Amino acid sequence: MKYFHIADLHLGKKINERSMHDDQEWILNQIVTQAKTHQVDGVIIAGDIYDRSIPPVESVKLFEHFLESLKGVVDAIYIIAGNHDSQERLSFGSTFFKKENIYISGLYEGSLVKVDAKDDVTIYLLPFIRPHMVRQYFTQEISNYHQAVDAILNQEILDSSRFNILVAHQFIVSGTQEPLRSDSETISVGGVDSVDASVFDAFDYVALGHIHRPQSIQRKTIRYAGSPLVYSQSEVNQEKSITLLEIMDKTLTQETIPLVPIRPVKVIKGHFSDIVQSEYTLDYVYLELEDTQEITDASMRLRQVFPNVLSIRYLYTQSLTSSSETLEISRVEDLSMASLFDAFYQTQNNHEMSGEQKKLIDSLIEQGDAHATN
């Protein structure tokens, strides 16, 4: 049996207001073509099909077209919801899709969807969960993500004579080792959402989604497939790929198939006067200006050379003109929810919140916390 493991499609994604629709259509077609070339039996999509819970209509059509094309080539498709998906909306029609060998697990409802495939392979689907979403199903204490996933998996009785694959969408760590992240994943505050890889000990392969850089955690067979496209500046040097699994007689062979985007994504750093003299290119670029003073009309003049510019950032000014302004990840983990919101508000509005607004946010956060711990 041959499987493709992919994840984090984020259909409907925009980078600084630029729609990635055409890029996504291109890369999905490539995945279908590769599935045909490699005579793949099944495709696993480990969450974050869409970039938000109510995706644009064109993304819904694109995803349906992708499923339709894939089904012309492979026998089965296995899908879980990620944190970006609306679990209920993604599930619509799942009863009927199942009859076409398209298995969609949107919302965890007390047990995992389990599919016995050919050649002694069994696939378990664990959609993205938060602790409060699973507490009702268990008697033991569940106060964090690790305990939640642990409880869910412990409840399943695996047949060790089969090759057991788990599909999941969580933030997995191995002891103190964390996966290499990118800016585009949701940033966890204080690591509360991390799940130790030890929970997967019983599974032969764990097909993960959530982290955009393709990588294995703890062992080669616990793997993030990564996103099919570069979705943030921090992903620029990542080679995106499909993870190909071949299982024969309970033995796994693993390799990666590179994915080639319509156009490359680059970071270009330097002084305006140099950069503006670059050769005209349709490549996607993140521009980092080393000038210490803002240049008049910089954006307009740079766009003549780089029509597909994704962002322009002054490295050494305090200006807020950049549209890709982000907080340093290292700082984020030390900040409280209130300070994070405060920083977000400032970035969005270019001024601080009023005292009244701050009070409102504080009370909302308090209510949210109370709710989350109930």
For residues 71 and 250, which CB has a smaller minimum distance to its own copies in the complex? 71
> Can you spell out the DSSP letters for 244-289?
EEEEETTEEEEEEEE---SS-EEEEEE-HHHHTTSPP--SEEEEEE
Tokens for 58, please give them: 């064109």
CB of 94 to its own copies, least distance (A): 8
Q: How many Cβ atoms sit within 10 Å of the Cβ of residue 372?
A: 10
For residues 100 and 239, which CB has a smaller minimum distance to its own copies in the complex? 100
Q: Which residues contact 68 (CB under 8 A, 6 or more apart)?
A: none
CB of 96 to its own copies, least distance (A): 5
For residues 91 and 238, which CB has a smaller minimum distance to its own copies in the complex? 91
Tell whether residue 352 is a contact of its own copies (CB under 8 A). Answer: no
| H/E element, 19 | strand 18-19
Q: What separation in angstroms does the CA of 255 have from each of 134, 205, 242, 246? A: 34, 13, 8, 9
Q: How many Cβ atoms sit within 10 Å of the Cβ of residue 350?
A: 9
Tokens for 145, please give them: 């993500």
Question: What x/- string results for residues 47 through 86 when contact with its own copies is judged by CB under 8 A?
Answer: -------x--xx-xx-xx--xx--x--------------x
Tell whether residue 92 is a contact of its own copies (CB under 8 A). Answer: yes
Tell whether residue 301 is a contact of its own copies (CB under 8 A). Answer: no
For residues 30 and 91, which CB has a smaller minimum distance to its own copies in the complex? 91
CB of 108 to its own copies, least distance (A): 15
Of 89, 130, 132, 162, which one interacts with its own copies (CB under 8 A)? 89
CB of 89 to its own copies, least distance (A): 6
Of 29, 33, 75, 88, which one interacts with its own copies (CB under 8 A)? 88
Size of the site for its own copies (CB under 8 A): 23
For residues 20 and 77, which CB has a smaller minimum distance to its own copies in the complex? 77
Residues between 94 and 133 with contacts to its own copies, criterion CB under 8 A: 94-97, 99-100, 102
Nearest CA-CA partner of 168 in 214, 121, 114, 224: 224
| H/E element, 58 | helix 57-71
In eight-state DSSP terms, residue 188 is P
Residues that bind its own copies (CB under 8 A): 54, 57-58, 60-61, 63-64, 67-68, 71, 86, 88-89, 91-97, 99-100, 102
